[in-house]
Structure 1
Amino acid sequence: MIMDTQTIGIVKSLVPALQEHGSEITTRFYAKMFEAHPELLNIFNHSNQRDGLQQQALATSVYAAAANIDDLSAILPAVKHIANKHCSLGVKPEHYPIVGKYLTLAIQDVLGDAVTLERLSAWKKAYALISDAFIQLEQQIYQEEELRRGGWSGFRPFIVRSRQRVAEDIVALELEAADGQPIIEDYLAGQYVTVKIEQDGFEHLRQYSLCEAPGSQHTYRIAVKFEDTSRDMHQAGIVSSYIHEYVRNGDTLLVSVPAGVFTLDTTLTNPVALIAGGIGITPLMSMLRTVVEQHPDREVRLAYAVRDHHFHAFADDLKQLSEKAPTVSNTIFYENGTEEDVEQRRCAYIGRITAAWLEQHIPGNAEVYVCGPRPFMQAMISTLLRQGHPMEHIHYEVFGPALSFSVD
């Protein structure tokens, strides 16, 4: 679909209003859509809905797409990220007209008389163009994944072969395809899979990073942090709490193909810096194992910040990997650590990762990968930028809607 210059101009004239009222529009949109289509509710993470992150991310994507309607390639990285998320959740072409209908109604409700018939017509054309771009990219991803060796479409049954507690609030699950057939073994370090469970008559979908290096023909390993649902009316954490409380060896989980664009570039030889906070260690474990197993001469600097030794995930694995590869530097920070922790070498520092430590230990030519809670990532990335690290060398993964995340 090609839009004429006049229509493009009309769409762009809506951008200031979409930016100013974006959160109000998207909040209204979700309320309207979920009321009419409650079956779509559990595609979306309840905690992100509760915290407003889903609404903020959609608002950002709406006005970004409108602002770049004459050249959507300008926002291609964001489009690819969203398309990967959509494919992992099983979003289909038939979902787009539903979203378009209620998003348009929400824009009309909030902006009122500012949405003239001319603007409304232009917006509908713009949405058709944007949705077509997503549908085409997502169909391409679906087809490529299904045709890959070991690939599949939708959700495939996996058996839990082992269950290991790797921190007080984190369990790691080793999953094997129930049919015994090969799986996609050449996924990219840093990718995730979506797990689907059925509870109380509803389907719930959540994404979990793969924490092993690619290469296994039969098993995946994920790590799941427990989120308490008992005091949350939105049922945030319903999947993680279900896995912690009920899933045991021999149980079956439905799993999607690996997806995601936060991945290790294995074609480079410059140093790798892995900076993790809490559960953010999971995709970085896959990257670390990949470097150690496949590129043992490449220098790695790992900085991992956790609350204390009870929440130090993969402690033994990290120690073994750093001992196995002399090019790996493994530095642990305990926010609530003790002198005994330092003496026993459970951690190197008490407190948080500081700007001084980053400046001293992260090489200026490093490819930096950051993952963890949002405030942690904002602090780390902002500090690295101030210290002169180019943004194109800083890569990060947001657990939740990425477009609701910003860095000064």
Structure 2
Amino acid sequence: MTSEQKAIILATVPVLRENGVLLTKHFYNRMFLHNPELKNMFNMGNQKNDRQQTALALAVLAYAENIANPGVLMPVIDRIGHKHTSLDIRPEHYSIVGKHLLASIQEVLGEAATPAIIDAWTAAYNQLAQIMIGHEAGIYTQQTERTYGWTGWRPFLVKKKVVESAEITSFYLYPADGGKVAEHLPGQFISLRVFLPQLQLKQARQYSISSAPNADYYRISVKKEKGATLNTDGLISNHLHDSIKEIDQVDLTAPAGNFTLTGEVDAPVVLISGGVGLTPLMSMLHSLIEKNHAFPITWLHGCRNESVHAFKDHITSIVTENPQVKQHVFYNQLTSQEKEAGILEGYLDINKVPDLDLVADAHYFICGPTPFIQKQFNDLVAAGVNKQHIYFEEFGPQVLALN
């Protein structure tokens, strides 16, 4: 890109701040109109609740703001790259997206979209596409180089369903070809794809792996969504609960994601979860125990009540058998017996945990709903924890930028 083109991109930043979501809504509508086959690749639930449009608008804005040095966005590019490879997005898809994004800029801005602006954004998009394609090629290579690794969609069988709470059921997924699986990094997710009769579309969703790394199977633990207004968002999870039986087939991509417990963590670990956000932390906990982690492990979990507390007895047994592991649990609704047992009342609040030792060099992993992550992150920082030691996983399109 020329310096003049970069200056033009920077000049469009105020417009993107004001009208970014309007632009991305127009873009998605245009793309699905002209390329309806892509509805099989995108989460149509996130199209209805505007989360995908918002996430894309924020990403485009961040790119424009940092057009002079896009390298500073590498953590974001890495996170998006993992999402893309888990959905089997390939270089040819960038050509389709680019065509509709540039056309949308012209159509939304109208006469304000001068030839110079369109030329600058064409150069900017092509630069970003090449950065993403190159980075994703590296992730695909890593996946194939893993023992038993693969890329693309692979058929798996649901060999076991286990009810973990009133809302959460675990699904044990084994390769349909009888082969082995690549061991995931604790905290990673897989994409699962099924055909939804209601939409007459294939739809994919990303689920954290809740089992310890192994070469035989993946376990995901899925929350059943409820509510009279439930539409596309939650259909896959409910389809798994209601329609998928043991020995039914689903398609999976290889494990992906950079919210991970990698290598040897020579420090205390604090796991903080809200509701079904405990799933990737289950894998982390198992891995730490199997590796005889020599430092304290603390788990803080919050949910509505005991009936929806998945893995409750299992985690309690781990705490009982491993003196370096402690847990603190919050229920919104508390019985007198639960109070006596040491359960805390209300929403999870680190400031209400008695004798909680927030060690400066500990590693903190947070997973749960977006407001939950934001609160825990802010409370940890206020308590003096280094931001660089706080990691979080936001389910769905990424809209938080806390680090």
TM-score (structure 2 length as normaliser)? 0.95
Distance 2:337 2:43 in 1: 39
1:288 offset after TM fit, Å?
0.8
Partner of 1:84: helix, strand, or coil?
helix
Q: Which residue of 2 aligns with 1:248?
A: 245
Q: Which residue of 2 aligns with 1:391?
A: 387
Q: Which residue of 2 aligns with 1:353?
A: 348
Contact 2:167 2:308 in 1 (8 A): yes
1:287 offset after TM fit, Å?
0.7
Distance 2:63 2:258 in 1: 20
Contact 1:296 1:325 in 2 (8 A): no
Distance 1:266 1:298 in 2: 15
Bigger Cα displacement from structure 2, 39-48 vs 170-179 = 39-48
Q: Which residue of 1 aligns with 2:305?
A: 308
1:6-405 map, 5 Å: 6-185=4-183, 187-200=184-197, 201-214=200-213, 216-228=214-226, 231-233=229-231, 235-343=232-340, 345=341, 348-357=343-352, 360-361=355-356, 362-402=358-398, 404-405=399-400
Decide whether aligned partners of structure 1 residues 132 and 368 sit closer, same or farther in structure 2, where only a CA change above 3 A counts.
Answer: same
Letter in 1 for 2:234: G
Contact 1:157 1:255 in 2 (8 A): yes
Distance 2:334 2:227 in 1: 28
1:45 offset after TM fit, Å?
2.5
Contact 1:84 1:261 in 2 (8 A): yes
1:230 offset after TM fit, Å?
6.1
Contact 1:17 1:111 in 2 (8 A): no
1:131 offset after TM fit, Å?
0.6
Decide whether aligned partners of structure 1 residues 46 and 336 sit closer, same or farther in structure 2, where only a CA change above 3 A counts.
Answer: farther
1:121 offset after TM fit, Å?
0.4
Distance 1:147 1:393 in 2: 29
Distance 2:321 2:355 in 1: 24
1:298 offset after TM fit, Å?
2.1
Contact 1:370 1:377 in 2 (8 A): yes
Distance 1:148 1:266 in 2: 15
Letter in 2 for 1:236: D
Contact 2:39 2:201 in 1 (8 A): no
Bigger Cα displacement from structure 2, 302-311 vs 292-301 = 292-301
Letter in 2 for 1:354: D
Decide whether aligned partners of structure 1 residues 166 and 236 sit closer, same or farther in structure 2, where only a CA change above 3 A counts.
Answer: same
Decide whether aligned partners of structure 1 residues 339 and 229 sit closer, same or farther in structure 2, where only a CA change above 3 A counts.
Answer: closer
Partner of 1:94: helix, strand, or coil?
helix
Once superposed, which parts of structure 1, at least 4 consecutive aligned residues long, lie more than 4 Å away?
none
Distance 2:57 2:292 in 1: 41
What's the % identity of the aligned pairs? 35
TM-score (structure 1 length as normaliser)? 0.94
Partner of 2:164: helix, strand, or coil?
strand
- Cα deviations by residue, 1:313-334 (Å, 9 ceiling, x for unpaired): 1112111211221111111111
Decide whether aligned partners of structure 1 residues 342 and 266 sit closer, same or farther in structure 2, where only a CA change above 3 A counts.
Answer: farther
1:43 offset after TM fit, Å?
2.5
Letter in 1 for 2:290: E
Contact 1:180 1:218 in 2 (8 A): no
Distance 1:143 1:174 in 2: 26
Contact 1:167 1:314 in 2 (8 A): yes
Distance 2:88 2:299 in 1: 34
Distance 1:128 1:389 in 2: 39
Distance 1:157 1:229 in 2: 31
Letter in 2 for 1:212: S
1:304 offset after TM fit, Å?
0.4
Distance 1:326 1:110 in 2: 60
1:9 offset after TM fit, Å?
1.6
Q: CA RMSD in A?
A: 1.7
Partner of 2:267: helix, strand, or coil?
coil
1:354 offset after TM fit, Å?
2.0
Letter in 1 for 2:361: N
Distance 1:230 1:333 in 2: 27
Partner of 1:189: helix, strand, or coil?
coil
Letter in 1 for 2:372: F
Q: Is there any run of 5+ residues in structure 1 with no aligned partner, and where?
A: none
Distance 1:113 1:169 in 2: 52
